[in-house]
Amino acid sequence: MKDVHVGAVQMVSGDSVANNLNRAHALLRTAAEAGAELVLLPENFAHLSDRGSYAAAEHFAEDGVADETQQPIQAALSRWAKELGIWLVAGAIPLLERPDGSPVEGKRNRSACLVYDDRGQLCARYDKIHLFDVDVADAAGRYRESNSIEPGTHTSVVDTPWTKLGLSICFDLRFPELFRVLATRGAEVLLVPAAFTHTTGEAHWKTLLQARAIENGCYVIAANQGGQHSEKRRTWGHSVIIDPWGDVLAEAGEGEAVITAKLDGDKLGTVRQNMPVLDMRRL
């Protein structure tokens, strides 16, 4: 792994795609100006609504060339990555097709994390595997993502000029077997874009992220939503960057924020040499 300066963007997104894109662009510019070469956006950065994401769903631009009118989110992502000269990992957006181009049936979509290089080229896509069908003791009370989202079926590890990235989205964080697969496929940096609820985030967010870093000997970059989105929806925030020993390199509070940190390749090598858990596993 080579040293790389990374960033995580925290937002309080609403149901206006235009407003959310304006805020995302401004925050990404802040991260780039701070020296970040690789930046992560949170889940649902372009559209977060109690009614679900279908209204903002786009057709997937398989070749990475998106139409500004028909695919404004994807077009903006490609344009920003090139303009700012960064690798951009776009938390999760709603897409109407599966990666193979076949349509998602019914009024559902895929929740997809897209990766763009610094030329604005689409490099990878990961579709959220684990869906948040949970009862939570908060104002919303009941979350059923499977009503509007079709789960993905494939993991994704992405080559970059510095390292290999392992992709996940939000509720995936509670399933350590996914991250072990990513690590055994060569991932050295695990990315977790999220919209963790305030209740579950306060209880488990940082603990789970540190565990995923420690047990896999990986850096973790986690970009969360962080505030009051509606009367029923509040997210935890506290976006964080964690090293392979579990130490926190940068952490936000609530509200909009940009955090950055340098990922040290030598540190990762030292941790993996001294604590070679990936080589020692028996199952």
Catalytic residue numbers, as ranges: 43, 128, 170
Whose CA is closest to 95, among 141, 144, 136, 148?
148
Cα(29)–Cα(23) distance, integer angstroms? 10
For the record, the structure tokens of 138 come out as: 């908060």
With a CB cutoff of 8 Å and minimum separation 6, the contacts of 16 are none
The CA distances from residue 46 to 51, 101, 174, 272, in Å, are 14, 22, 24, 37
Contacts 24+ apart (CB under 8 A), 183-188: 183/216, 183/217, 183/218, 183/278, 184/278, 185/155, 185/157, 186/157, 187/157, 187/216, 187/218, 188/1, 188/163, 188/164, 188/218, 188/219, 188/268
- The stretches of 50-197 forming alpha helices (DSSP H) are 72-84, 176-184
